[in-house]
Structure 1
Amino acid sequence: MAFERVSSEVVWRGRIATVRVDRFRHDDSPEIATREIVEHPGAVAVLAHDHEFLYMVRQPREAVGEEALLELPAGKLDGADRDPLATARRELAEEVGKGAARWRWLMKFYTSPGFADEQVHLFLATDLHDESAESADDERIEVVRWPLERLDDAIAECADAKSLVGLLWLRREQLTGRFP
């Protein structure tokens, strides 16, 4: 089923997102469909482990009323080039104080394509070393060293979609014997 955007109007612009009202014509109907769309620059999430521990964070997520949501290190694509790998490296250093000698891009996915265009790039980071970077003043992050042998417990506790995608990918790799 094909469609074409016939109009688009920005109705709100903020620091991390923009809201548009777009109108679409689908090839199976003369009616015009109106959609409210949240534009987001995209993000990264990092599965970082040292073969014993998975490095995660807990942080408050006011939008959903969570005081300490368990998540993978992650962050918004910023800067002129919005390079996903550069962003992943920065976020791993800022959020958990680690760098990695080995990086592997795993996949990209939409977080909620019913109303938002946000796409997350998932990376695997291994051969970790200590690396520090300045984090934002308003971030309240607790670093969590989660034992890989308790990966199923992390999956059970996690309620964050991007983190669940990463954790479930890792669990599949364990089950199929392809553990990275």
Structure 2
Amino acid sequence: MNSLEEKTLHSEEIFSGKIITLEIQDVELPNGKRAKREIVKHPGAVAILAVTDENKIVMVEQYRKALEKTIVEIPAGKLEKGEEPVNCARRELEEETGYVCESLELLTSFYTSPGFADEIVHVFLAKGLTKKENPAALDEDEFVNLEELTLAEAQQYVKEQKVYDAKTIYAVQYLQLQEALTAK
């Protein structure tokens, strides 16, 4: 045990839903005292930074109930049990946008809220996009509007808080950095 590790003494699942479970954990702190932790367990997700041959970023607008508003995001979705992130990325890209891609490159993976959740998001760059004639359907409870934005438009959406989530802001900043590096 390292000097910062918290030892789990007891764990109790108090909620199990379609996407997440919630556990209450009793832990022993590094100083020997005890505390409780509320932990959200999540299967993980992917997000896809899809860029067209015209250098447009493919995004989806959707209503987010937790926020009580609509935001614009890069396509993303939850990993199914046993599903490889790259396969999930291909599936979600097609379902949410109707596009398929020639190449997928893993850009990064990150934990969304490590203070209380174990959700990890794998961000992929998709290139060589082709619109599929009969794409896979969206999930039955999913409704999106497709948007294709230039980098400048996406940056404006960030300023206007139309783009307001970490994965999409990361994607926009990634492209901004790539553009700056190419310009040198």
Q: Would you call these one fold, judging by a TM-score over 0.5?
A: yes
Note if contact 1:151-1:171 (Cα within 8 Å) is conserved in structure 2: no
Give the drift of 1:4: 1.7
The whole-number CA distance in structure 2 between the counterparts of 1:101 and 1:154 is 28
Task: Report whether the alignment pairs 1:42 with 2:47.
Answer: no
Q: Secondary structure at the match of 1:55?
A: strand
Q: TM-score of the superposition, structure 1-length normalised?
A: 0.91
One-letter code aligned to 2:15: W
In structure 1, what is the equivalent of residue 88 of structure 2?
A: 87
Of stretches 39-48 and 161-170 in structure 1, the one that deviates more from structure 2 is 161-170
RMSD after superposition: 1.4
Task: Report whether the alignment pairs 1:170 with 2:175.
Answer: yes
Name structure 1 gaps, 5 residues minimum.
Answer: none
Task: Report whether the alignment pairs 1:17 with 2:14.
Answer: no
The whole-number CA distance in structure 2 between the counterparts of 1:166 and 1:113 is 20
Q: TM-score of the superposition, structure 2-length normalised?
A: 0.90
The whole-number CA distance in structure 1 between the counterparts of 2:98 and 2:58 is 10
Give the drift of 1:3: 2.5
Give the drift of 1:138: 1.7
Deviation string, structure 1 residues 34-88 (Cα, Å, up to 9, x no partner): 110110100000000014211000000011111x211000000014x22101110
Could you say which structure has the higher strand fraction? 1
How high is the sequence identity, in percent, across the aligned residues?
36
The whole-number CA distance in structure 1 between the counterparts of 2:152 and 2:172 is 13
Task: Report whether the alignment pairs 1:75 with 2:71.
Answer: no
Runs of 4+ that moved beyond 4 A: none
Note if contact 1:155-1:168 (Cα within 8 Å) is conserved in structure 2: no
One-letter code aligned to 1:73: P
Mapping 1:1-180, distance limit 5 Å: 1-27=4-30, 29-50=31-52, 51-66=54-69, 68-79=70-81, 81-131=82-132, 132-156=135-159, 157-177=162-182
Of stretches 162-171 and 90-99 in structure 1, the one that deviates more from structure 2 is 162-171
Give the drift of 1:149: 4.1
Name structure 2 gaps, 5 residues minimum.
Answer: none
